[in-house]
Amino acid sequence: VTEENKPGSIVLAAIDASPHSLAALDSAARLASRLHAELRGMYVEDIDLVRIAELPFARAITSLGQSQRLTPEMMLRQLNRHAALARSAVQASGTRGNLSWSFSVVRGSVLREIAEAASSADLVAIGRRGWSDSTAKQLGSVARALINSGTSSVLMVAEGGVRDPLAVIYDGSASSDRALALAAVLDGNGSTARTIFAIGTAAAERLKSAGIPEQAHVTTVDSQALLSRIQRSGVRTLVVPSTSLAEFRDSLALLEQKNLSIFLVK
């Protein structure tokens, strides 16, 4: 199973300079390199943050519970600093991977700007969450919005990056074929996914007839048992075809508890 390279493919990395987003950039650059795609870096200056800082009573409560006065200058300084960090990270990744790369800074609604940029990209890589409270482990609002929009493949990278062990969910759809192929691309150590969870015997049969990758370990599961199997296997990166998303969308809330990188393949 291979992923054919479409000429002029675009991998978009939406970066807010948080550790998650920098890890996402790293994976995006690797994918762009293997897919011979263009790497587009993007930083959105959140218009809401700019507006908050302009309000006369604007204060921020730090993670230590201290109240800090906010000013427009202070906010712009922080946003500029993050933008500069993001730019240099994209530049470094592009240069290192010998990629065609670009970087842009836009101001506006984060959701809207990324969604708009995503519409022209084949793959979007984002951090699982941005500069949110580190004690929370839920998916960030942008990630959540991209999953729901379903316009392109989305790679949501947890802190620490895409890590082994890696697993792919296979439901027999064309989308899951692509997921299998992209998993091989994503897996830095080999051309095959480590574990393939085939949902139902039909999918397992199809997988068998299509030719199972040599080093892959195929486990046939029903969708009810899928979540607990994934949890027990200690998977750190999960490649999910968008067709399967509906099957355990309810269960995603549980998956969100884990420090798991998720690659949703359209």
* Shortest Å, Cβ 53 to other proteins: 8
Q: Which stretch binds other proteins (CB under 8 A): 7-15, 91-99, 134-142, 145-153?
A: 134-142
Mask 43-82, x = binds other proteins (CB under 8 A)? ---xxxx-xxxxxxxxxxxxxxxxxx-x---xx--xx--x
Q: What is the DSSP string of 171-239?
A: -SSHHHHHHHHHHHHH-TT-SS-SEEEEEHHHHHHHHHHH---TT-EEEEE-HHHHHHHHHHHT-SEEE
Is there binding between residue 134 and other proteins (CB under 8 A)? no
Q: Which stretch binds other proteins (CB under 8 A): 125-133, 182-190, 204-212, 235-243?
A: 125-133
Would you call 10 helix, strand, or coil by DSSP? strand
Cα separations (Å) of 61 from 19, 64, 141?
A: 21, 8, 20
Would you call 169 helix, strand, or coil by DSSP? strand
Which phi and psi angles does 160 have, rounded to 5°? 100, -15
Is there binding between residue 130 and other proteins (CB under 8 A)? yes
Q: Which of 88, 148, 257, 259 binds other proteins (CB under 8 A)?
A: 257
* Shortest Å, Cβ 164 to other proteins: 21
- Cβ distance to other proteins smaller for residue 110 or 184: 110
Residues 136-165 that bind other proteins (CB under 8 A): 136-138
* Shortest Å, Cβ 131 to other proteins: 6
Count Cα atoms within 13 angstroms, Cβ side, for 109.
7
Is there binding between residue 7 and other proteins (CB under 8 A)? no
Alpha-carbon torsion angle 215, 220, 223, 228, nearest 10: -70
Pick from 115, 117, 135, 134: nearest CA to 38: 117
Q: Which of 4, 7, 73, 133 binds other proteins (CB under 8 A)?
A: 133
* Shortest Å, Cβ 192 to other proteins: 30
86: part of which helix (H) or strand (E)? helix 72-96
* Shortest Å, Cβ 60 to other proteins: 4
Mask 76-115, x = binds other proteins (CB under 8 A)? --xx--x--------------------------x------
**d(C-alpha 15, C-alpha 46), whole Å:** 12
**d(C-alpha 115, C-alpha 149), whole Å:** 8
Count of Cβ atoms closer than 10 Å to residue 245 Cβ: 18
- Cβ distance to other proteins smaller for residue 75 or 216: 75
- Cβ distance to other proteins smaller for residue 70 or 185: 70
Would the CA dihedral through 22, 25, 29, 30 be positive or negative?
A: positive
- Cβ distance to other proteins smaller for residue 109 or 223: 109
Binding footprint of other proteins on the chain (CB under 8 A): 46-49, 51-68, 70, 74-75, 78-79, 82, 109, 130-133, 135-138, 257
